[in-house]
Structure 1
Amino acid sequence: MEKEQQIFGIRAIIEAIQSGASIDKVYIQKEASGELMKDLMKAMKRANINFSYVPVEKLNKLTPNNHQGAVATISPISFFDLETLVETVLENGKKPLFLILDQISDARNFGAIIRTAECTGVNGIIIQKSGAAPVNGDTVKTSAGAVFNIPICKVEHIKDAIFLLQANGIKTIAATEKTEHTIYNVDFSDAVAIIMGSEDRGVNPSVLKIVDEKAKLPMFGSIGSLNVSVACGAFLYEAVRQRS
């Protein structure tokens, strides 16, 4: 993790939150207490910032400085407003292609997906504020810099993003093995948003209930699944093939 993407110290993190900095996550020392820590917890709750409790050894590894029991990671990018982005893309007259990542947590998978999304002309990537991989040094490196070239939107809930897209005539297609339809039986040529699930659980069942269609990749080997970034690439390039 690159030092310029970090803030350490409780008061410094509070001030960063209040100034509107793009904070991805805050790491809090287990069993930390005190009035200043309470103020930090209140500030994170108001700003809906993702945080986790970690042992002091984790914080010491993140920074050699006096962290006071708290280290924050700052995103190197600015995030887009989803509603504004959708309106802009639709006004351009082209059939949009969006990508929704349902709590993908590995930064390198995230970076690899961003790189493929940029190469395939995705108009925007949508992630959830909580539970998603941070945009950190690993993400930037794995994306080969593509993270700076594609709009990324953070939303409170994935389901709200899906409802917004559907209301704007954008079909939502979830990648899941819980369907009989392969990607070759599904129409990606219209305005669509592809939904990829987390590495361990896939697309959330509550999300699967509200999507327009489901699709899977045909599998012929003994291993029953692909790495999510590889699977995402297969979905996106099928969309490219149908649109070409």
Structure 2
Amino acid sequence: MEKTDMIYGTRAVIEAILAGKDIDKVMIQSGLTNDLVKELIAVARNNNVPILFVPPEKLKRLSTKNHQGVICILSAVSYSSVDDLIYKAYQEGREPFFLILDRITDVRNFGAIVRTAECAGMTGIIVGEKGSAPITSDAMKTSAGALNHLPICREKDMKKTIQLLHDNGIRIVACTEKTEKSLYSLTLTGPIALILGSEEDGISDAFLKEADELARIPLKGKIGSLNVSVAAGVAIYEVLRQHGN
């Protein structure tokens, strides 16, 4: 992570939030309880900025500067609204095509997925406010610049977001090994949102319950799973194939 991705110090971070900077998260040293830190926490929460309380060793690994126990990680992109993207797609006569990422934390995987999604002309990618890869200059580099072109939506309440997709006629398809139904047996036309899950344990049960369809990518070898960025490419381009693109 480059130093330009970070802001140090409690007051500086408060001012960055109030100035409307695009912020990925704020890390605060565990145990800090002074009035300025309390003000920072209130400002961050009022502006929907994620807060992580971390041990001092974590901050020291990020920077040796006098950070006062507070480091802000800047986002490399401005976040978009799911509602606005849905409206724009329908207004332009296009069927919305989203990708929902559930706890994808590896920056390289995230960047590779964004690159594929942008090449496929997807409407946007939806990530949770917490538990997602930081969108920094490293992610920008790995995406080969695709983050400059593909809208990213960061949502606090993913359940409400999925309901919004349903309400707008968008079918939710979860790509998971927890089903016997093949991806290639599904009809994947019309407005669609694909869900892909964590590199460690796949899609969470909460997301699986919200999906309209579960589908697996058939595997013929001895290894039990694909890298998540590869799985994303397979699923995205199967949707494109069925749409005749």
Name the TM-score class by shorter chain.
over 0.9
Question: What amino acid does structure 1 have at the position aligned with 2:180?
Answer: E
Matches within 5 A, 1:100-111: 100-111=100-111
The 3-state SS of whatever aligns with 1:233 is: helix
Which deviations, in whole Å up to 9, do the C-alpha atoms of 1:122-172 show, x marking residues without a partner?
111111112211101221111011001101111112221211111111111
Alpha carbons 2:98, 2:124 under 8 Å: kept: yes
The 3-state SS of whatever aligns with 1:209 is: helix
TM-score where L is the length of structure 2: 0.94
Question: What amino acid does structure 1 have at the position aligned with 2:200?
Answer: D
Q: Cα offset for 1:185?
A: 0.7
Alpha carbons 1:102, 1:158 under 8 Å: kept: no
Question: Residue in 1 aligned with 2:194?
Answer: 194
Q: Cα offset for 1:20?
A: 2.1
The 3-state SS of whatever aligns with 2:43 is: helix
Gaps of 5+ in 1: none
Count, aligned residues? 244
Alpha carbons 2:41, 2:51 under 8 Å: kept: no
TM-score where L is the length of structure 1: 0.94
Q: Cα offset for 1:19?
A: 2.1
Alpha carbons 1:128, 1:156 under 8 Å: kept: yes
The 3-state SS of whatever aligns with 1:203 is: coil
Q: Cα offset for 1:104?
A: 1.2
Alpha carbons 1:102, 1:196 under 8 Å: kept: yes
Gaps of 5+ in 2: none
What RMSD in Å do the two structures reach over aligned CA positions?
1.5
Deviates more, 1:84-93 or 1:24-33: 24-33
Partner Cα distance (1:84, 1:160) in 2 = 15
Partner Cα distance (2:119, 2:146) in 1 = 8
Partner Cα distance (2:86, 2:29) in 1 = 39
Question: What amino acid does structure 1 have at the position aligned with 2:125?
Answer: I
Q: Percent identity?
A: 46
Question: Residue in 1 aligned with 2:242?
Answer: 242
Q: Cα offset for 1:42?
A: 2.1
Q: Cα offset for 1:82?
A: 1.0
Matches within 5 A, 1:62-77: 62-77=62-77
Question: Residue in 1 aligned with 2:123?
Answer: 123
Partner Cα distance (2:189, 2:215) in 1 = 14
